[in-house]
Amino acid sequence: MADTYDVAVIGAGPAGYPTAIRAAQNGLKVVCVDEWKNRDGSLAFGGTCLNAGCIPSKALLESSELVHRAQSEFAAHGIKTQGIAVDLATMQKRRASIVRTMTGGVAALFKAAGVTAVHGHGRLLSGRRVEITAPDGTRSEIAARHVVLASGSVPVELPSMRFDHQRICDSWDALEFDAVPPRLCVIGAGIIGLELGSVWRRLGSQVVILEALENFLAVADQQLAAEAARQFKRQGLDVRLGARVSGARVADGTVRVEYADARGSQSVTVDKVIVAVGRKPYAADLLAADTGVKLDEKGFISVDAECRTGAENVWAVGDCVRGPMLAHKGKEEGVAVADRIAGRYAHVNYAVIPSVIYTAPEIAWVGQTEEQVKASGTAYKTGVFPFSANGRARAMEAAVGFVKILAAGDTDSILGVHIIGPLAGELIAEATLAMEFQASAEDLQRTIHAHPTLAEALHEAALASDKRAIDNINK
Ligand code: FAD
Ligand code: NAD
């Protein structure tokens, strides 16, 4: 007879593994099945995020940022260096070791929580049975009271530019380059394009980024986007907007990328291309025909606001369902589903999900952009405070960017916070908490912030929304 569980989770990325752990914490018998295989053939839990996404990219962003700071900031501090050399092999060894530690950590978490963790491919059959194909091809079947699908996403491939993983690369390839490409073209000036473009630019590549849209960072507040464009240009990132890519020709070890923009047909010849034009949900061979689980027209698993698929006791969370493709969004959905399965109350506040782009300066936001607030017709006020007037940012030699807060004109409630500057990704947590607690700009104004800290910029932006900033002569 098939083993039976209370909960079977398919996928052990940042959506699936927290689902399994919370379900086990809730006293349920849990199995989590994951098929991830690294390029060296090793099996690992943690999904895209830990193996080929958030963690390795942040490791390389940190290393390459140190290179940049040593080259361009040390002198201002009065620190003399005699030439900075990059040892990419050591940098990549460090990245791989962080990934190994973190993915090993997921296995340890499963063990400690009592989750049965299985490497293999999971396929949902009718009646909440799951067929598992082990890495050696052996098949087995389990049954569960509840099944949670957390199969994640994969990169979008351009039909005119198929991945060969040598010259035409995806984001995973780009995290594992063993030499700095002298000339690099990134297709897509989205989050991956800007983060990985920054890594390789700082390590010495000449980087051209081709973006189809006319607007830079269209998802972000446009005041923030304009500042980001200015900073990236200064750093030597060559972002070309309105560029419609038509194809790529690989010859003699180089790639000629052809595109058209407002000036007509163009091309750029480089050593490698990174295609970063978005990710799409992944559900290959996940569902037998008679499960009752449906996919929408874009391939996402259809779910309601509480992640129910419509098939009895089958749920789906993370990148494979609607909403932003962010690790923390998937984690909250998974934890909420595990609590709902246990009969507990759970809620995910989709209106308050922070976004962070880990470039330098960092970019982070939560809530609505000014463009969205304007379009909604809500009366609003803005407060902006520049890091150039913040003592800690000056001391850090990082006094670029600003904090911008949007608050309702009548109730004063915070509608959105947008930060470009040092450690923006850390600073946004305070704004996120404030919005989660439905704070007003005045609540932030009346909260004591330690001096000198970067967080004072958020405090001052809140004051600026009522034209009462203390430390800025302009407002
Ligand atoms: P995944 O992480 O994709 O995990 C899904 C897992 O399910 C995988 O292990 C897969 O092998 C497994 N699986 C799929 N189908 C089956 C099956 N049938 N049987 C068994 N196993 C299966 N997000 C952030 O929030 N912050 C960041 O800084 C960030 N940086 C990123 C950088 C890069 C380069 C990339 C590519 C992404 C980044 N993301 C970041 C996005 C983030 O990685 C995803 O949002 C997140 O991993 C989604 O989690 P998930 O669990 O839904 O899916
Ligand atoms: P994205 O949606 O952020 O950006 C893709 C960009 O490519 C867009 O600007 C789009 O206009 C452009 N584009 C699309 N087709 C194009 C074409 N044919 N030619 C030129 N440009 C084109 O997607 P991404 O950067 O690939 O990232 C995928 C997902 O991973 C995102 O949803 C993001 O949420 C997640 N991610 C998050 C982080 C983070 O949180 N720091 C980091 C990396 C990735």
Atom number, ligand 1, closest to the C-alpha of residue 324:
45
Rounded to whole angstroms, how far apart are CA atoms 352 and 364? 13
The CA-atom distances, in angstroms, between 120 and each of 35, 108, 234 are 4, 18, 47
- Which CATH architecture group holds 355-464? 2-Layer Sandwich (3.30)
Tens-digit pLDDT string for the chain (475 aa): 689 999 999 999 999 999 999 999 999 999 999 999 999 999 999 999 999 999 999 999 999 999 999 999 999 999 999 889 999 999 999 999 999 999 999 999 999 999 999 999 999 999 999 999 999 999 999 999 999 999 999 999 999 999 999 999 999 999 999 999 999 999 999 999 999 999 999 999 999 999 999 999 999 999 999 999 999 999 999 999 999 999 999 999 999 999 999 999 999 999 999 999 999 999 999 999 999 999 999 999 999 999 999 999 999 999 999 999 999 999 999 999 999 999 999 999 999 999 999 999 999 999 999 999 999 999 999 999 999 999 999 999 999 999 999 999 999 999 999 999 999 999 999 999 999 999 999 999 999 999 999 999 999 999 999 999 999 876 5
Q: Per-residue DSSP letters for 116-133?
A: EEEESEEEEEGGGEEEEE
Please identify every residue annotated as catalytic: 451
DSSP secondary structure code for residue 387 in this structure: G
What pLDDT does residue 2 have? 80
Instruction: Tell me whether strands 168-169 and 272-275 are parallel, antiparallel or unpaired.
Output: parallel
CB distance 189 to ligand 2 below 6 Å: yes
CB 454 within 8 A of CB 393: yes
Does the pTM surpass 0.95? The reply is: yes
For the CA of 120, the nearest atom of ligand 1: 20
Parallel/antiparallel/unpaired status of strands 314-316 and 139-149: parallel
Ligand nearest to the CA of 188: 2
Q: What is the pLDDT at residue 50?
A: 98
Instruction: Tell how far the Cα of 363 is from the centroid of ligand 1, in angstroms.
Output: 21
Ligand 2 close to Cβ of residue 184 (< 6 A):
no
With a 6 Å cutoff on the Cβ, whether 185 touches ligand 2 is no
Looking at the structure, give the CATH architecture of the domain made up of residues 168-277. 3-Layer(bba) Sandwich (3.50)
57-70: b or e for each residue (b if 16 or more CB lie within 10 Å)? bebbbebbbebbbe
Q: Would you list the domain boundaries of the chain? A: 3-155+280-341, 168-277, 355-464
CA geometry: angle at 421 spanning 418 and 424, to 5°? 60
Helix, strand, or coil (residue 15)? coil
DSSP line for 160-200 = TB---SSSEE-HHHHHS-SS--SEEEEE--SHHHHHHHHHH
3-155+280-341 carries CATH number 3.50.50.60: yes
Kindly state if the Cβ of 356 falls inside 6 Å of ligand 2. Answer: yes
Give residue 474's pLDDT: 60
Which residue has the CA at smallest separation from atom 37 of ligand 1? 53
Residue 475: the pLDDT is 55
Ligand 2 midpoint to CA 190 (Å): 4
The full length of the chain comes to: 475
* Helices 54-72 + 191-202 axis angle, to 10: 40
Fold match flag (3-155+280-341 vs 168-277): yes
Ligand lying nearest the CA atom of residue 218: 2
Q: Is 187 in the pocket of ligand 2 (CB under 6 A)?
A: yes
The pLDDT assigned to 283 comes to 98
| Ligand 1 centroid – CA 405 distance (Å) | 31
Identify the pLDDT of residue 1: 64
Q: Convert the pLDDT of each residue in 363-379 to its tens digit.
A: 999 999 999 999 999 99
